[in-house]
Structure 1
């Protein structure tokens, strides 16, 4: 492979301020995190990049899962009882500990992006922010793999994890 890159380093553009401090009580996905609010504090040198972001209802937060130390190539997903390859899951035990969270944008005040449906831990470093658009991000005729087998009601209760 020509020009193979051995290592990539990123600098956070901000940090999540969240009500979640215990990983075992944090919702496992934004869809189960309804009502959990917080904000992303964007570092001053990146604030100008927020211009017009408030025109979108939802944003993707691309984050570094800073508390996750282990890396596995096979995991048992939280909502399923059989092991899968790491790339067929959203487990945090990934080789690069990169996370993706789709949150609802409430408002922007200065360097603070207030969000809802927050499933990230307090202090999580944010690597990037991208707007969600129905036009670009929705697909027809998709397959959800093993996720299609999950009992929706059980997942809703278990996925929120707030009662644990």
Structure 2
């Protein structure tokens, strides 16, 4: 198989300079504001994005440790396969966050409910559309008994260098 190479389209500017203490999901980061600076060459691609209340950010976990296939996630004391977790240390360290889009000024996106570290490279942006992205009959796997820990769980550095 051939190698796949992505070029960042922008960068996040957030209040989180260090992984430790950072919320581990956007729903645990309510009200936290940041900006996404889209590089000038991609600014035209933002046309019509302001009509959406939420966007999906795809990004590179630039500070994550090398991956392990079995990990102990933030919200459990048991080990799980990395693909059954949202661990940032992954074979392809790609993150995903759905955030609130407040406004766009030229190439700057003002966002809220941010769980992303400062200077995180953005790989792509997609509009969040509930009819596309929501599902019914959801199973939460091992998280079913741990989801209540989300509000008090923060990054403790276990997956960052």
| Category of TM-score, reference length = shorter chain | over 0.9
Structure 2: distance between partners of 1:151 and 1:42:
33
TM-score normalised over the length of structure 1: 0.91
Q: Alignment partner of 2:2: what SS?
A: coil
Q: Is 1:113 aligned to residue 112 of structure 2?
A: no
- 2:50 maps to 54
Q: Map residues 51-90 of structure 1 onto 2, 5 A cutoff.
A: 51-90=47-86
TM-score normalised over the length of structure 2: 0.93
Q: Is 1:158 aligned to residue 153 of structure 2?
A: yes
Contact 1:79 1:159 in 2 (8 A): no
Contact 2:12 2:117 in 1 (8 A): yes
Deviation at 1:160, TM superposition (A): 8.1
- 2:131 maps to 135
Q: 1:151 to 1:133 in 2, by over 3 A?
A: closer
Contact 2:100 2:111 in 1 (8 A): yes
Q: Which runs of 5+ in 1 are unaligned?
A: none
Deviation at 1:107, TM superposition (A): 0.5
Q: Deviation string for 1:51-81 (max 9, x for gaps)?
A: 1111111111000011113111010110111
Structure 1: distance between partners of 2:67 and 2:2:
18
Q: Which runs of 5+ in 2 are unaligned?
A: 157-161
Q: Alignment partner of 1:91: what SS?
A: coil
Q: Deviation string for 1:104-132 (max 9, x for gaps)?
A: 11100110000001101100000000011
Deviation at 1:25, TM superposition (A): 1.3
Structure 1: distance between partners of 2:29 and 2:36:
16
Size of the aligned set, in residue pairs, is: 156
Q: 1:40 aligns with which of 36, 52, 56?
A: 36
- Alpha-carbon RMSD across the aligned residues, in angstroms, is 1.3
Structure 1: distance between partners of 2:123 and 2:155:
25
Structure 1: distance between partners of 2:91 and 2:140:
23
